[in-house]
Amino acid sequence: MNNNLDEIIRELSEIYDPNSKNTYVTMYKNKKSNLKFFEKRQNACKLVLSGDEKRNFNKTIDEINDFITKNPTFQGAIFASNQYDFLKIIPLPVEVSDLLVVDSSPYIRPIARIIDEWESFTLVLINSNYSKIFSITLGKVTNEKTLSSDIMNKHKKGGWSQARFQRLRKGAINAFFIQVKEALKKIADKQIVLAGPGMAKAQFKEMLSKDLSKRIVASIDISIEDEKELLKESINIISKLEKEKSLDVIKQLKDEILKDGLATYGIEETLKAVKDGQVELLIVEKDYKLKGYICEKCQIIYSNFKKCPNCKGDVSEVDVIEEILEFGKRTNASIEFTEGEEIANIGHIGALLRYK
């Protein structure tokens, strides 16, 4: 689902109206939302909009409200524009902060943060004759596959020799591990957590290809029956790794800056790099916002112009960080949200580059 969300965000980032400032309505809603918040936001928008923009907003919000009435516990994001017959509904299993935004394009920043903070991964629970493979997305199990094999654990007296029995049992276990490996190859995410009792998980890891083996980020010793505790522990591990990753990218950014390498920082330089398609990884201070202006026609952002110097057309007020994120997703840049003095001191935003 994370990969699907990433693709959805890229599609949303490419949508904008060059002729109007206020075409698209974006709503982020929690399942326990206070609907009075949205009523207040809708009334505020109606007060400041006029003409065609107000008519479009009224029709668009009617569509959204109709959906919410029919689905009162919905949690997720809604992107809509009646003018363009556009409606995108994205359920999310994690809590979101209530938000209603009217702009010339869908507002993607909250969902981009969710993807960054809730890394998807694959969890493999295994012993010598039983395995369960879980796909974990946004902290929830989205898919699971169970495999098992009828492998004898005890030698029958009067039957095979002990040595022959052990060879046959080892062969049966290897055959089972191959079956699990083939299933894993089809669904493995970029991060894998191995879990189970004893040595089976280590033996299974030895059979994996280099590609799959490199994706293993943790190994957990746990009973094969304790799935609930395992899911909780594996999610905590991935969350901790994500925080460590955030620190690592800041260090990498600083190192590249010091050697005048593949990095840039600050609003102006990062904006230029992302528009030119140079950015591999955007590094953004979590809650930082910056007011600016964009000419939707030219797709040029300015710090303070009432008219576009390029085409002399009108400009719209925007959150510059949101616009940078949209440019980044259009060019397949990854996004890492972080916080602290280190990113604030270098202009609240930076990027690792593909080329310079």
Say what the pLDDT of residue 2 is: 52
CATH architecture of 1-107: 2-Layer Sandwich (3.30)
**Portions of the chain given CATH number 3.30.1330.30:** 260-356
In terms of Cβ atoms closer than 10 Å to its own Cβ (0-12, 13-18, 19+), residue 34 is: exposed
CA distance 37 to 28: 12
3.10.310.40, 3.30.1330.30, 3.30.420.40, 3.20.20.70: CATH of 260-356: 3.30.1330.30
**Portions of the chain given CATH number 3.30.420.60:** 118-242
Checking phi first, is residue 143 left (phi over 0); if not, alpha (psi -120 to 50) or beta? beta
Say what the alpha-carbon torsion angle 301, 306, 311, 313 is, to the nearest 10 degrees: 110
Please give the structure tokens belonging to residue 6.
């990433």
Say what the pLDDT of residue 298 is: 77
**Of 163, 162, 130, whose CA–CA distance to 149 is shortest?**
130
Say what the pLDDT of residue 173 is: 86
Give the predicted TM-score (pTM) of the model: 0.82
Give the bridge partners for 301, in sequence order.
294
> What is the spatial order of strands in the sheet that 300-302 belongs to?
300-302, 291-295, 316-319
pLDDT digits (tens), the chain, 356 positions? 455 888 999 999 999 887 777 899 999 999 988 889 999 999 999 999 999 999 999 999 999 999 999 999 999 999 999 999 999 999 999 999 999 999 989 999 999 999 998 989 999 999 988 999 999 999 889 888 998 876 555 545 445 566 765 676 677 888 899 999 999 999 999 999 999 998 999 999 999 999 999 999 999 999 988 988 999 999 999 999 999 999 999 999 999 999 999 999 999 999 999 999 999 999 999 999 988 888 777 777 776 677 787 887 777 778 899 999 999 999 999 999 999 999 999 999 999 999 98
Give the bridge partners for 38, in sequence order.
none
**Portions of the chain given CATH number 3.30.960.10:** 1-107
Say what the pLDDT of residue 25 is: 97
* DSSP state letter for 66: H
Superfamily of domain 118-242: eRF1 domain 2 (3.30.420.60)
